[in-house]
């Protein structure tokens, strides 16, 4: 067995950043309140006043905010191994997801990422799509005739059910799925807790209980999954071997499974909710996507059909451009380095808020407009810079589940748009929230209109 090797360095974050323009904001909370109210406006103000590299405070952290595709490129590609994701996230995600893939760096990260790769290769994906498509169909059908239908909670539950089956290998009716979902949601809430000690009644306390439950749950099932014929993600992880022919350690598998649920779920829920928000306002795009889905000519998509849905691909990326599911990414400098002409000392926290670059007029025409055609020939606006779109991150930590997420989105659009047209209420809310996850504030109420029936 391999050893679990995650180990946080103990040096404190560097906060000596007087030589860098900017403002840390209010004591302790920094710019948190303003950012929660209006993320784009807050970053825009900072950028206009201080430029692409500025000091910035957020939720107890003091560091440097970076805005610009060249800066992103330097950080994501990290040619000189200057930046640590593990230390960047140690005080946030690291509270519950220590040892997860995103909390590993460089060689160790590469080694661990290999464990996951079989589970995201074509053969695995072909199996997932066979399981996923009928589950999504059933869920979408069950929405028919529901009064007071809200898209956000409906898609959230659907994706939780799909995750329990495809990632963990549980039947939909397995009562453990509900407990698993609860533990997972408790951790997600725990991440929002301001108190980070295990005091009964706090979000952190409940989150820690959830974390222990997940670890026990996955830990106890590893041997069973190794012996099984299962084609779920957990079974792939459990059976994967290192180049030396050893299984990965139980601790590694548990850490990766726990994080996978988190990384996959809210991100896709958020992306689909924003996409449906925009489709609700764009009947023309609903129709174009419906025609594309109808053109496949099948009740369920096969893996090979995914490439025949370029409009769906463009539409979901456009939703992620305007509303990235991961609103803030973090890194920490390992050693002194230079970013955008500024000296950045070792142990400095770096903040990346992709929404700003996603709306920069230098890289996107009419950036505020929902316009998926910008991703297609001949416009190809995403090719104006390799890092003007980082909705799935970039470099070594680029989202391992990107193709899975696009596959899930296409399956959803295929089932949903061929069954329904929909309307948003006349006075529908356009307000968006960013915390705890980006979504329309009012949960996206909609009226579903059954087609052909
Ligand atoms: C629309 C849906 C999704 C979005 C927008 C998204 C976004 C991202 C982003 C931005 C990162 C990089 C974070 C950073 O560099 O700090 C990331 C990493 C990751 N994502 Fe996704 N993700 C999505 C879906 C998924 C799914 C479905 C899975 C799994 C099935 C997944 C698993 C992961 C994992 C394991 C990492 C860490 C990769 C590493 O450190 O090497 N994600 N994701």
Query: Does the beta carbon of 162 sit less than 6 angstroms from any atom of ligand 1?
Result: no
Distance 354 CA to ligand 1 centre (A): 14
Domain span at residue 231 reads 22-450
Helix ranges (DSSP H) in 14-150: 32-37, 39-50, 69-77, 85-89, 106-117, 122-142
Query: Does the beta carbon of 326 sit less than 6 angstroms from any atom of ligand 1?
Result: yes
211 within some domain = yes
C-alpha 23/C-alpha 418 separation (Å) is: 50
441 within some domain = yes
Tell the residue nearest (CA) to atom 24 of ligand 1: 264
Query: Does the beta carbon of 347 sit less than 6 angstroms from any atom of ligand 1?
Result: no
10 within some domain = no
Q: How many domains does the structure of the chain reveal?
A: 1
323 within some domain = yes
Query: Does the beta carbon of 263 sit less than 6 angstroms from any atom of ligand 1?
Result: yes
Closest to 451 measured CA to CA, from 412, 424, 418: 418
8 within some domain = no
Distance 452 CA to ligand 1 centre (A): 37
433 within some domain = yes
What's the longest Cα–Cα distance across the chain?
66
Question: Three-state SS for 130?
Answer: helix
Distance 325 CA to ligand 1 centre (A): 10
Tell the residue nearest (CA) to atom 21 of ligand 1: 399
Query: Does the beta carbon of 393 sit less than 6 angstroms from any atom of ligand 1?
Result: yes
Distance 402 CA to ligand 1 centre (A): 7
Query: Does the beta carbon of 93 sit less than 6 angstroms from any atom of ligand 1?
Result: no
C-alpha 417/C-alpha 440 separation (Å) is: 20
Query: Does the beta carbon of 328 sit less than 6 angstroms from any atom of ligand 1?
Result: no
The atom number, within ligand 1, closest to the CA of 316 reads 1
Tell the residue nearest (CA) to atom 2 of ligand 1: 268
Query: Does the beta carbon of 262 sit less than 6 angstroms from any atom of ligand 1?
Result: no
CATH code at position 125: 1.10.630.10
379 within some domain = yes
352 within some domain = yes
**Along the 453 residues of the chain, how does pLDDT read in single tens digits?**
344 444 455 689 999 999 999 999 999 899 999 999 999 999 999 999 999 999 999 988 999 999 999 999 999 999 999 999 999 999 999 999 999 999 999 999 999 999 899 999 999 999 999 999 999 999 999 999 999 999 999 999 999 999 999 999 998 788 898 899 889 889 988 888 878 888 999 999 999 999 999 999 999 999 999 999 999 999 999 999 999 999 999 999 999 999 999 999 999 999 999 999 999 999 999 999 999 999 999 999 999 999 999 999 999 999 999 999 999 999 999 999 999 999 999 999 999 999 999 999 999 999 999 999 999 999 999 999 999 999 999 999 999 999 999 999 999 999 999 999 999 998 888 899 998 889 999 999 999 999 975
Contact 375, 320 (CB under 8 A): no
C-alpha 413/C-alpha 55 separation (Å) is: 41
Tell the residue nearest (CA) to atom 7 of ligand 1: 392
Tell the residue nearest (CA) to atom 3 of ligand 1: 267
């Amino acid at each position: 067995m391999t050893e679990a090797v995650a180990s946080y360095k103990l040096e404190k974050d560097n906060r000596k950043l007087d030589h860098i323009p900017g403002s840390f904001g209010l004591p302790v909370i920094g710019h948190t309140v303003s950012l929660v109210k209006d993320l784009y406006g807050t970053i825009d103000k900072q950028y206009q006043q201080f430029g692409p590299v500025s000091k910035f405070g957020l939720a107890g952290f003091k560091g440097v905010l970076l805005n610009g595709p060249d800066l992103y490129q330097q950080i994501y590609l990290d040619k000189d191994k200057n930046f640590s994701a593990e230390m960047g996230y140690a005080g946030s995600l690291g509270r519950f997801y220590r040892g997860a893939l995103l909390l590993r760096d460089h060689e160790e990260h590469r080694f661990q990422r290999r464990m996951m790769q079989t589970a995201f290769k074509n053969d695995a994906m072909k199996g997932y799509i066979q399981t996923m498509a009928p589950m999504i169909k059933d869920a979408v059908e069950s929405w028919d005739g529901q009064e007071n239908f809200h898209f956000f909670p409906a898609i959230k539950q659907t994706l939780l059910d799909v995750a329990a089956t495809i990632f963990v290998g549980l039947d939909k009716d397995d009562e453990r799925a509900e407990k698993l979902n609860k533990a997972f949601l408790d951790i997600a809430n725990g991440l929002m807790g301001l108190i980070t000690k295990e005091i009964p009644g706090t979000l952190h306390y409940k989150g820690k209980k959830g974390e222990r439950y997940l670890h026990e749950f996955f830990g106890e099932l590893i041997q069973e999954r190794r012996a099984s014929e299962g084609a779920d993600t957990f079974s792939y992880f459990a059976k994967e071997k290192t180049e030396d022919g050893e299984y990965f350690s139980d601790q590694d598998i548990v850490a990766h499974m726990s994080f996978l649920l988190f990384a996959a779920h809210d991100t896709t829920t958020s992306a689909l909710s924003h996409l449906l928000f925009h489709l609700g306002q764009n009947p023309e795009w609903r129709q174009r996507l419906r025609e594309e889905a109808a053109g496949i000519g099948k009740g369920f998509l096969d893996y090979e059909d995914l490439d025949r849905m370029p409009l769906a691909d463009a539409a979901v990326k456009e939703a992620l451009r305007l509303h990235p599911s991961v609103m803030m990414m973090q890194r920490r400098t390992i050693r002194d380095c230079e970013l955008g002409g500024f000296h950045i000392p070792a142990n400095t926290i770096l903040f990346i808020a992709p929404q700003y670059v996603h709306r920069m007029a230098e890289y996107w025409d009419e950036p505020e407009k929902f316009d998926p055609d910008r991703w297609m020939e001949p416009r190809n606006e995403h090719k104006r810079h390799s890092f003007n779109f980082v909705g799935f991150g970039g470099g070594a930590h680029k989202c391992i589940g990107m193709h899975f997420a696009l596959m899930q989105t296409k399956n959803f659009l295929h089932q949903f748009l061929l069954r329904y047209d929909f309307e948003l209420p006349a006075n529908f809310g356009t307000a968006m929230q960013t915390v705890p996850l980006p979504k329309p504030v009012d949960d996206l109420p909609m009226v579903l209109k059954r087609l052909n029936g």
